[in-house]
């Protein structure tokens, strides 16, 4: 349960894009910021941590981009499509890279947290893509 | 829908506290980080923005503390209670202050986004309090 | 005075790019994240806050992107050029947009904080551009 | 070189505390946010990464708190001492814990990046303490 939809519905003005697309993008960004932080931490807790360095860096970086993008798309006042596009493109790319890395470890090393994290990344990659279409990429 | 619970369940070790308390705290922190960003933006979009300066600053600050705390409690590897406590106390306090400010504007100025944001703040204040009890404050 | 250079010099491996370019990029990103937060706050403190809405949103968004990018380029372990590129491009674009907005208010409304913030944005835009060249954009 | 001092000097109002104390606190927070991110990354790049798990978590957490606090003290509009105090206390504590951890690895494992990072943490701990005194802790 998040308050993202209710926050958007009580915004004093019109949203920058279709509300369902926007809310999904906001929620996916914050969720992925959390999952990627948690996956970096779970990798750090694994015995084979030395094999997971790339995954840790990727997750930490993806988490940063998602958190920044989640806040940027949360802002409707004087929404600037060029700014949103720059952030959404970076976020979709970060999520794609991180998903690939996590899927690799889920497959090869049976890392369940990587499998879950990849799900969150793919959802966010999709949501950013949909928001990009809505904003006119 | 968030992946917080699944991320915790796939962590390779034991969680720092009761899983339900922890997941609620993580989700409440990220949700409040989003709501506060959105409320600052909604206040900025109001005609009476000059009356809402304090609310905007409060929301921006609360959003920072929640985002930091959400990530800190997401990390289980070498969880340090003293660090968690410091963050959770600051977060509970930030949420309390922000909730009071938002409740004031909800009441006096009929600001619906402030009412929704106050809900998110109170939920997060409570969740941080429960996590503090669990961690042994 | 920052510790960025010393942190890079003590990294146990080789940096992803020329150290001077990298340190300037790191420092410019963190400095711009701070300046943009401060400029949004200074705009909020102005009597004519209602004319500065776009500048506030732009500064808040630019601050997010700079903070994320500053951390991403700070990470050398398994540095992934594609990830760095995505962040650096978004950051250079955010800084360009924010600089234009701030320069406008510096010129038209004599906003001194906007003039200073635009300086920080232009420095960061340049530093990200140089880092992009170094990483092979 | 940062723009923190110039941003504060162009703020349209009076600062919440002595300018020198405030600027040192702002700069120390952003510097420590960067150093701690970089130290977590440097630890991750070490061969003995499995011995450095606690240091990585500590650094990542400290970086979050410093970044949040740096932005909070950057905001002068409707500065709320109670909010500032909560953040500054958490930050001083996070820096103290992280400095102890890093000093330990600097001493026992000759980790030079930990020695540099501990310097940044101790500076930030001190700067937050001075700001707390100025704000009336």
How far is residue D13's CA from residue A7's CA, in Å, rounded to a whole number?
Answer: 31
Q: Read off the pLDDT of each residue in C24-42 and give the average, rounded to a whole number.
A: 98
Residue-wise pLDDT for D22-35, tens only, equals 999 999 999 999 99
CA angle A128, C121, D65 (to 5 degrees): 70
Q: Do D12 and C37 touch (CB under 8 A)?
A: no
> Among positive and negative, which fits the CA dihedral C1, C4, C7, C13?
negative
Is any Cβ of chain B less than 8 angstroms from the Cβ of C41?
yes
Give the separation between CA A101 and CA A114, rounded to whole angstroms.
8
Q: At what angle do helices A53-74 and C53-74 cross, to 10 degrees?
A: 180
Partners of D60 on chain A (C-beta within 8 Å) are: 60
Q: Look at residue B1 in the predicted model and tell me its pLDDT.
A: 81
Cα dihedral across residues C90, C92, C94, C96: positive or negative: negative
C-alpha to C-alpha distance for D95 and D32, rounded to whole angstroms: 8
Q: Which residues contact B20 (CB under 8 A, 6 or more apart)?
A: none
Q: Is the pLDDT of residue A136 over 90?
A: no
3-state secondary structure string across D12-62: CCCCCCCHHHHHHHHHHHHHHHHHHHHHHHHHHCCCCHHHCHHHHHHHHHH
C43, closest residue in chain B (CA to CA): B53
Q: How far apart, in whole angstroms, are the C-alpha atoms of residue B70 and residue A63?
A: 12
Cβ atoms of A119 and B3 within 8 Å: the answer is yes
Mutate one of C44, C59, C60, C61 to test the B interface: name it (highest B CB count within 10 A): C44
Average pLDDT over residues B120-129: 98
Inter-chain CB proximity A94 and C71 less than 8 Å: no
> Per the CB < 8 Å rule, is A53 touching D44?
yes
- D25 vs C109: CA distance, rounded Å: 30
pLDDT for the residue A46:
97
Question: What does the pLDDT read at residue B136?
Answer: 85
- Does residue B72 belong to the interface with chain D, where contact is any CB pair within 8 Å? yes
Nearest to D37 by CA among C84, C3, A99: C3
Closest C-alpha to A64, from B85, B77, D67: D67
* Residues A49, D45: C-beta atoms closer than 8 Å: no
Identity of the residue in A44, A47, A50 whose CB atom sits nearest the CB atom of D56: A44
pLDDT tens column, D43-94: 999 999 999 999 999 999 999 999 999 999 999 999 999 999 999 999 999 9
Q: What percent of chain C has pLDDT over 90?
A: 97
Whether C11 and D71 lie within 8 Å, measured CB to CB: no
Q: What is the Cα A97 distance to its own chain's centre?
A: 11
Interface probe for A, chosen from D44, D53, D54, D58 (most Cβ of A below 10 Å), is D44
User: Which among A51, A102, C14, C21 is positioned nearest to D42, based on CA atoms?
Assistant: C14
Q: Chains with 3 or more CB pairs closer than 8 angstroms to A?
A: B, C, D
**CA A77/CA B98 separation, integer angstroms:** 21
Contact by Cβ (8 Å): A59, A117: yes
Q: Give dist(CA D134, CA D137) in Å, integer.
A: 8
Average pLDDT of chain B is 97
User: Residues C97-135: pLDDT tens digits?
Assistant: 999 999 999 999 999 999 999 999 999 999 999 999 999
- Largest Cα span, chain C: 52
**CA separation for the pair B1, B51 (Å, rounded):** 35
Residues of D within 8 A of B80 (CB-CB) are 54, 57-58, 61, 97
Chain B contact set for D79 (CB, 8 A): 57
Interface size, chain A vs chain D, as Cβ–Cβ contacts under 8 Å:
19
Average pLDDT, chain A: 97
Contact A50 D50 (CB under 8 A): yes
Q: Indicate whether A71 pLDDT > 90.
A: yes
Determine the average pLDDT of the residues in B34-52.
97
Res. D136 pLDDT band, cuts 50 70 90: confident
| pLDDT tens per residue, range A14-56 | 998 999 999 999 999 999 999 999 999 999 999 999 999 999 9
How confident is the model over B55-73, as pLDDT tens digits?
A: 999 999 999 999 999 999 9
Does position A137 have pLDDT exceeding 90, yes or no? no
pLDDT for B137: 64
Residue B41: the pLDDT is 98
User: Are D56 and A45 a contacting pair at CB < 8 A?
Assistant: no
Per-residue pLDDT for C137 more than 70?
no
pLDDT at A1: 81
Burial (CB < 10 A; 0-12, 13-18, 19+), residue D75, is buried
Best A16, A41, A80 member to test B by mutation, with max B CBs in 10 Å, is A41
Contacts of C50 in chain B (CB under 8 A): 47, 49-50
pLDDT band at C1 (very low <50, low <70, confident <90, very high): confident
Q: Does the beta-carbon distance from B71 to A63 stay under 8 Å?
A: yes
Q: B127 near B91, Cβ under 8 Å?
A: no
B74 contacts A1? CB cut-off 8 A: no
Contact D60 B75 (CB under 8 A): yes
Tell me: ipTM over 0.95. Answer: yes
Query: D37: which residues sit within 8 A by CB, 6+ positions away?
Result: C71, C74, C75, D59, D60, D63
Q: What is the model's pLDDT at position D137?
A: 64
Classify each residue of D22-41 as buried b or exposed e, where b means 16 or more C-beta atoms within 10 Å of its C-beta. bbbbbbbbbbbbbbbbbbbb
Write out pLDDT tens, residues D107-127: 999 999 999 999 999 999 999
SS3 of C3, please?
coil
Share of chain B above pLDDT 70, in %: 99
């Amino acid at each position: 349960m998040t308050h993202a939809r209710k926050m958007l519905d009580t915004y004093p003005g019109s949203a920058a894009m279709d509300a369902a697309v926007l809310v999904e993008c906001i929620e996916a960004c914050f969720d992925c910021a959390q999952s990627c932080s948690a996956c970096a931490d779970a990798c750090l807790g694994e015995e084979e941590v030395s094999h997971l360095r790339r995954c840790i860096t990727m997750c930490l970086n993806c988490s940063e981009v998602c958190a920044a993008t989640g806040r940027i798309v949360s802002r409707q006042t004087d929404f600037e499509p060029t700014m949103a596009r720059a952030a959404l493109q970076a976020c979709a790319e970060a999520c794609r890279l991180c998903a690939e890395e996590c899927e690799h470890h889920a497959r090869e090393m049976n890392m369940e947290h990587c499998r879950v994290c990849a799900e969150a990344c793919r959802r966010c990659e999709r949501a950013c893509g949909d928001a990009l279409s809505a904003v006119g990429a």
